[in-house]
Amino acid sequence: MTDRVGAGTPDERDEVFHEVVPAALAGERLDRVVSLLTAASRAEAAVLVAEGGAVVDGVVATSGKVRLQEGQVLDVDPAFLPRPTPPAADPSVEFGVVYADDQVVVVDKPAGLVVHPGAGHPTGTLVNGLLARFPDIAEVGQAGRPGIVHRLDVGTSGLLVVARTALAYDQLVTALARRDVGRRYRTLVWGRPANPIGVIDAPVGRDHRDPMKMAVVVDGKSARTRYRTLAVYRGDTGGAEVSELDCRLETGRTHQIRVHLAAIGHPVVGDGVYGGARSAIPVERPFLHAATLEFRHPSTGATMRFDAPMPDDLRAVLARLGDPEVSEGDDVDTESAIESAIESAPGAEHGSDHESAPGPGLGAADGREF
């Protein structure tokens, strides 16, 4: 038996993928589908199958060459993946360091930089760069992604915290699981949300028809995104309205903000995966920036808050739009404003006044092109 991957973040640790094979993947080899689901290489997926980590219709698969059929039930246990080769230090990787001490590093990640090595990105990642500057993280957390406790999509810029010690790793992972880490994002979306302040409360999971995407699905994991509209623009948009939002994550599902906003009909500008790439506003990546990060320091318990200014490429987009038609400003405490609105709303305890994605039986899984 091969060595297996170690424990991950709360959402990844011991997670078994349970999927019904969609029509889009009918006829594909098992090892290719396993590779798509786990973001592993084909060779690693083949090892997983050989080790007994893939079950098709309740029977352990014996070969990655078998062709899957639509409707078959596939269970894949990533714990059977081979332990990844430790990433190497790479001083050429560029990223900003906002803060560093002997426990944590707060990074301002540029758009286009992958957080950790994976299929298609074996080198040149943030982790490779971190190892060059902070080699002590090599033994912290998972072998293939040392120090990483949460991630940002490759196209998302902004803040994330990295653990430098086992203590920091364990405490930050626990804080994320308890939703004690504050994460706020700035984004630009198509259209104007019906409610200027709201909560999108809808489960997020793999799209049943395309496992390479995420979607609002009935069997997904609980996910909540709070948002507040900061400004509405119409200039230089081809006549369409676009809105600048401040979003706060309560949970941290893959592509959560992108999926939630697309599901309520307001995809992120520039997001080609979930329906936001349109010629009226040319932008080379999703307009999404992790602007604020807040957490308790693992050793001192002090509240740490960091803010990252919007990068130049996104500022240029706003500059082309001109003055907003409606502006709420950005100097209001978004969290307090949202909390106040929700607490004062009739029936809000049950979510009746929240912005909601359509129920899965009403086509919510079609709220995608996250």
Residue at which a domain ends, from 114, 147, 177 = 177
Kindly report the CATH number assigned to the domain that includes residue 345. Answer: 3.30.2350.10
Structural domain contains residue 269? yes
| Residues 165, 147 share a domain | yes
Structural domain contains residue 90? no
DSSP output for 26-59: TT-BHHHHHHHHHT--HHHHHHHHHTT-EEETTE
Q: How many Å apart are CA 225 and CA 43, to the nearest integer?
A: 37
| Residues 186, 60 share a domain | no
Give 62 or 329, the one with higher predicted confidence. 62
| Residues 259, 150 share a domain | no
Q: How many Å apart are CA 103 and CA 94, to the nearest integer?
A: 21
Q: Which of 354, 1, 295 is nearest to 172 (CA)?
A: 295
Report how many domains make up the chain. Answer: 3
* Confidence (pLDDT) at 182: 96
Structural domain contains residue 88? no
- How many helices and strands, by DSSP H and E, does the chain display? 7, 16
Q: SS3 for 82?
A: strand
pLDDT in tens, 111-170: 999 999 876 778 899 999 999 999 999 999 988 899 999 999 999 999 999 999 999 999
Across 316-338, average pLDDT: 68
| Residues 196, 173 share a domain | no
Residue at which a domain ends, from 136, 156, 177 = 177
Q: Which of 218, 84, 103 is nearest to 145 (CA)?
A: 84
| Residues 186, 149 share a domain | no
Kindly report the CATH number assigned to the domain that includes residue 67. Answer: 3.10.290.10
| Residues 289, 226 share a domain | yes
- Half-sphere exposure of residue 9: CA atoms within 13 angstroms, side-chain side: 22
The domain in which residue 287 lies consists of 182-366
Q: Which of 126, 123, 122 is nearest to 114 (CA)?
A: 126
Q: How many Å apart are CA 140 and CA 160, to the nearest integer?
A: 16
Specify the amino acid at residue 309. Answer: P
* Confidence (pLDDT) at 209: 81
Q: Tell me the two tokens of residue 170.
A: 């364990």
Would the pLDDT of 38 be above 60?
yes
Report the side by side order of strands in the sheet with 59-60. 17-20, 73-76, 54-56, 59-60
Give 15 or 202, the one with higher predicted confidence. 202
* Confidence (pLDDT) at 276: 96
Structural domain contains residue 8? no
Structural domain contains residue 91? no
Q: Tell me the two tokens of residue 100.
A: 């560093």
Q: Tell me the two tokens of residue 295.
A: 């957490």
Task: Count CB neighbours of 80 within 10 A.
Answer: 22
Task: Count CB neighbours of 197 within 10 A.
Answer: 20
Specify the amino acid at residue 34. Answer: V
* Confidence (pLDDT) at 328: 63
* Confidence (pLDDT) at 237: 67
Residues facing residue 12 across a β-bridge: none
Structural domain contains residue 7? no
* Confidence (pLDDT) at 332: 42
Output the CA angle 252-210-281, nearest 5 degrees.
70
Structural domain contains residue 51? yes
Give 264 or 212, the one with higher predicted confidence. 264
Task: Count CB neighbours of 240 within 10 A.
Answer: 13
* Confidence (pLDDT) at 5: 42
* Confidence (pLDDT) at 4: 41
Across 213-238, average pLDDT: 90
pLDDT grade, residue 193 (50/70/90)? very high
246 catalytic? Reply is: no
Taking all residues of the chain, what is their mean pLDDT, rounded to a whole number? Answer: 85
Residue at which a domain ends, from 77, 104, 120 = 77
- Active-site position among 31, 153, 210, 246: 153
Q: How many Å apart are CA 43 and CA 356, to the nearest integer?
A: 41
Q: Is 319 exposed, middle or buried (0-12, 13-18, 19+ CB in 10 A)?
A: exposed
Q: Which distant-in-sequence residues (6+ apart) come within 8 Å of 321 by Cβ?
A: 233, 235, 236, 237, 242, 281
| Residues 252, 342 share a domain | yes
* Confidence (pLDDT) at 211: 78
User: Helix %, strand %, coil % for the chain, to 5?
Assistant: 25, 25, 50
Structural domain contains residue 137? yes
| Residues 192, 173 share a domain | no
| Residues 144, 49 share a domain | no
Q: Are 227 and 186 in contact (CB under 8 A)?
A: no
* Confidence (pLDDT) at 267: 98
